[in-house]
Amino acid sequence: MTNLPRYALALAALACLSAAAQVAPAPTPTETDSKDAKPGPTLNRVEVIGSSSDTDLRRTSTAAKITISKEDIERYGDSSVSEVLKRLPGVTTGGRPGRGGDVRMRGMGGGYTQLLVNGERMPPGFSLDNLPPDQVERIEVMRAPTAEYGARAVAGTINVVLKEALKKTLNEVRIGAGIEENRVSPNLSWTRNDKFGEGVAYTVTLSVNRSDNRDESDTRTRWYDLGSGLTVLNQHETGLSANTREAVHLNGRVQIFIAPGESLILMPFLMLSQGTSESQGQLDQLPGGAIAQPYARYATVGDGRFSSLRGNAQWQKNLGDGARVELRGGAGSGNFENHGSRQEYDSAGLLTRATDDKTSTKETGWSLTGKASQQLENEHSLVAGLELDNSVRKQTRTTLQNGLPILTEFGDDLSASSMRVATYIQDEWNPTKQISAYAGLRWEGIETRSDSDAYQVSNRSNVLTPLLHATWKPDEKSRDQWRSSLTRSYKAASLQELIARPAISQRFPTGSNEVGSPDRAGNPHLSPELARGFELAYEHYLDKGGLMSANFFYRRINDLIRNVVAQEDVSWSTDKRWVSRPQNVGNAIAQGIELEAKFRMDELWTDALPISLRTNVSFFDSRVEQVPGPNNRLEGQPKGTANFGADYKLRGLPLSMGASVNYTPGYDLQLSDIQSSTVGAKVVTDAFVVWFINPSAQLRLSANNLLPRDYLTTSSILNGSQRQDNESENPSKIRWGLRLELKL
């Protein structure tokens, strides 16, 4: 808690800013209209404050919820949903700039952030990186867990809501292309919203896209003898990879009005994709190193296919007297096939090793939920629910090295299943006009096991999570309010972390390997991570939909899971091997503050242009108690992130433009007593211009990662008297986008 004074100062600064905003009166609509009126044949200016309804939802929610509208999602022409999320308060993404990556709230990835699609956990093989924003209606961000959405949300929850049936008829087509280094990635989407008579409303969204990109890499590996100070190994590897991918997404929603207060909603979802990859690289090594040069050149080729089909049905009925019941069921399957081969050559150009890996995975699953709610006269809203879901993974994998199978003692077939049961009850009520309160209790149990003797997995866990949220308005008529939360949440081990089958080091496949290139294997005895959390937030809402807020969070995590590298006697080699396995290593603390302000400039300054500003700054801090400091932070968590964005609709011209800057500072990380890493700063600048051709057509030009810079990462390992350093430099590129949006 050493950084609490800094957080307190930031809270005080934001409170002073909000007080100043209250002193400066906002112009009335009449004053604004008269000021904007101009003589001559100009376009009529119509102001639509799109964030007001989203802001109202945020203001009235007892548990903290941020809603991102369709307009905000589409503003910058992003190619993936993860690129949209990076601009939100406290959200970061992994990987190089402009490439999306795993989504992290509060800088906490690896399962700490709960990702949902339409309120359900994402189906196997599904990634937000592969979901086009055209498929999304809105995004809901919940900073603290709730009983209804689940407690597997140590950092928070992101719920992506796909297109919904609307009340108005819509027939929209979007044709676009992304361009990166003269490589064109076309995309097409179609949305149709209509009714069949008076009792059926539907929405169909179809997206087709193709991505084509090329990435470069530059890695240096150096070993030092700490006693003599000499360099005992110096390697330099450069690589170039090209990846193409074609995908089709089909999302539908049919709402059938059976009777007054009763409806049935059908929600099918289909995703098909296939891709190819090619890469080649060269490894240069100075003579006299500690180990022989493993290869001088390599080449890889791969291809993969993925398909996912899921259908959900939701029936809901009002029973009268404030009672309501809802049943929801879903079933689906996903199939993934991947084939990759790698050839390695020596300095004379002779083939020294060839590997061939084929994997076929099929996952099936079903879910069933029931929820009953009762609205009572004394401002209580009671909700109780039961959830069941089951998933089964069947996998066949064949790995050949120089034409011969390896890891035969583990077998090629995997069959594993996971069963989850959860029940919850929550009560939301308003004791007074100034206080809103929420209390919830959720129990959740998960059982994961395999049917194969070769993959020993038998793991059971259950967690009881009490949850409390409250909102307080100091003045009934004030636009200020305070939020607080006391929660318990958890993170369960994934199937991949539990399965014990090893993945052999590509650099040292036989004999003994090195600590910097370990084999990888799972651990079937992992316990879930448990976290106790506290939130405190201040919010000030402006007259025209703007807001300013500060949110402090604290998490105390027990049984932290982290990959640990150690030398082991293994069954797949007669020599001892370095192996990286996940372990419950101890306890950790994570804390931070998130500051946010979004408003239109003329809300604060009467004579200012109506430029919309969106800015947020977050500070993160964490400490793993069992790892020596300094920099013993949670893995992947930066020290903060910042966003600044502005957009403006020109007066008298059919143009709208805007830009945003996303900044994540670099940081050092101590993973264990022998492992450390450094991640470089990441800056992503985006911009857009929209030309409103007519009420039914507009053209959007976007530039993502407008000022590209290299993404730098390093890792270090101490092994006795030797230190190994790896430095990777990954260039990033500008991506241009052009899209024509038509309403037919």
Residue pLDDT, tens place only, 282-300? 999 987 767 788 899 999 9
Please give the Cα distance from 252 to 268 (Å, whole number): 5
Locus of tokens 């099918």: 268
Which pTM does this prediction carry?
Answer: 0.85
**Reading across the β-sheet that carries 156-162, which strands appear in turn?**
65-68, 136-142, 156-162, 113-117, 120-121
DSSP 8-state secondary structure symbol assigned to residue 640: E
Please give the Cα distance from 47 to 58 (Å, whole number): 22
In this predicted model, what pLDDT tens digit does every residue of 97-148 receive, in sequence order? 877 778 899 988 778 999 888 888 876 666 777 778 888 888 999 999 999 8
Please give the Cα distance from 334 to 331 (Å, whole number): 11
Strand partners, 204: 192, 252
Percent of the chain predicted with pLDDT > 70: 90
Residues in the chain: 744
In this prediction, residue 2 carries a pLDDT of 43
Number of other CB atoms surrounding residue 678 within 10 Å: 16
Residue type at position 362:
K
Q: What is the dihedral sign for C-alpha 496, 499, 500, 506?
A: negative
Helix, strand or coil for residue 128? Answer: helix
Please give the Cα distance from 437 to 440 (Å, whole number): 10
Percent of the chain predicted with pLDDT > 90: 53
Question: Omega into 132 within 30° of 0, i.e. cis?
Answer: no
Residue type at position 14:
L
DSSP 8-state secondary structure symbol assigned to residue 733: -
Give the pLDDT band (50/70/90) at residue 80.
confident
Residue 12, pLDDT > 70, answer no
Residue 523, pLDDT > 80, answer yes
Residue 270, pLDDT > 60, answer yes
Residue 33, pLDDT > 60, answer no
Is residue 617 within 8 A of residue 92, CB to CB? The reply is no
Residue of 240, 340, 243 lying closest to 282 (CA atoms): 240
Strands (E), 634-734: 640-649, 655-664, 667-670, 675-679, 682-694, 697-704, 711-719, 722-730
φ and ψ at residue 58, rounded to 5 degrees? -65, -40
Mean pLDDT for 424-447 is 92
Residue 274, pLDDT > 90, answer yes
Number of other CB atoms surrounding residue 261 within 10 Å: 12
In this prediction, residue 166 carries a pLDDT of 62
Helix, strand or coil for residue 101? Answer: coil
In this prediction, residue 125 carries a pLDDT of 61
For residue 390, what is the enclosing H or E element?
A: strand 380-401
In this prediction, residue 642 carries a pLDDT of 96
Helix, strand or coil for residue 60? Answer: helix
Mean pLDDT, all residues of the chain: 86
In this prediction, residue 452 carries a pLDDT of 67
Token duo for residue 634? 């949670």
Give the pLDDT band (50/70/90) at residue 411.
low
**Which residue did the predictor score with more confidence, 440 or 63?**
440
Give the pLDDT band (50/70/90) at residue 43.
very low
Mean pLDDT for 656-672 is 93
Residue 410, pLDDT > 70, answer no
Helices (H), 407-541: 495-498
Is residue 728 within 8 A of residue 714, CB to CB? The reply is yes
Mean pLDDT for 664-682 is 91
Token duo for residue 222? 């150096």
Give the pLDDT band (50/70/90) at residue 464.
very high
DSSP codes joined into one string, 132-184:
-GGGEEEEEEESS-BTTTBS--SSEEEEEEEP---SS-EEEEEEEEEEETTEE
In this prediction, residue 231 carries a pLDDT of 85
Mean pLDDT for 600-614 is 89
Please give the Cα distance from 142 to 706 (Å, whole number): 30
Mean pLDDT for 43-47 is 38
**Which residue did the predictor score with more confidence, 378 or 387?**
387
Residue of 493, 428, 424, 494 lying closest to 464 (CA atoms): 424
Give the pLDDT band (50/70/90) at residue 165.
low
In this prediction, residue 68 carries a pLDDT of 87
User: What domains are there in the chain, each with its CATH number?
Assistant: 4-690+716-743 (2.40.170.20)
φ and ψ at residue 110, rounded to 5 degrees? 60, 35
For residue 245, what is the enclosing H or E element?
A: strand 231-259
In this prediction, residue 358 carries a pLDDT of 92
Among 23-32, 357-366, 587-596, 689-698, the minimum mean pLDDT is found in 23-32
Question: Left if phi > 0, otherwise alpha if psi is -120 to 50, otherwise beta: which for 545?
Answer: left
Mean pLDDT for 219-246 is 90
Mean pLDDT for 706-733 is 90
Mean pLDDT for 419-435 is 92
Residue 578, pLDDT > 80, answer yes
Please give the Cα distance from 57 to 65 (Å, whole number): 8
Please give the Cα distance from 514 to 294 (Å, whole number): 12
Give the pLDDT band (50/70/90) at residue 167.
low
End-to-end CA distance of the chain: 57
Question: Left if phi > 0, otherwise alpha if psi is -120 to 50, otherwise beta: which for 50?
Answer: alpha
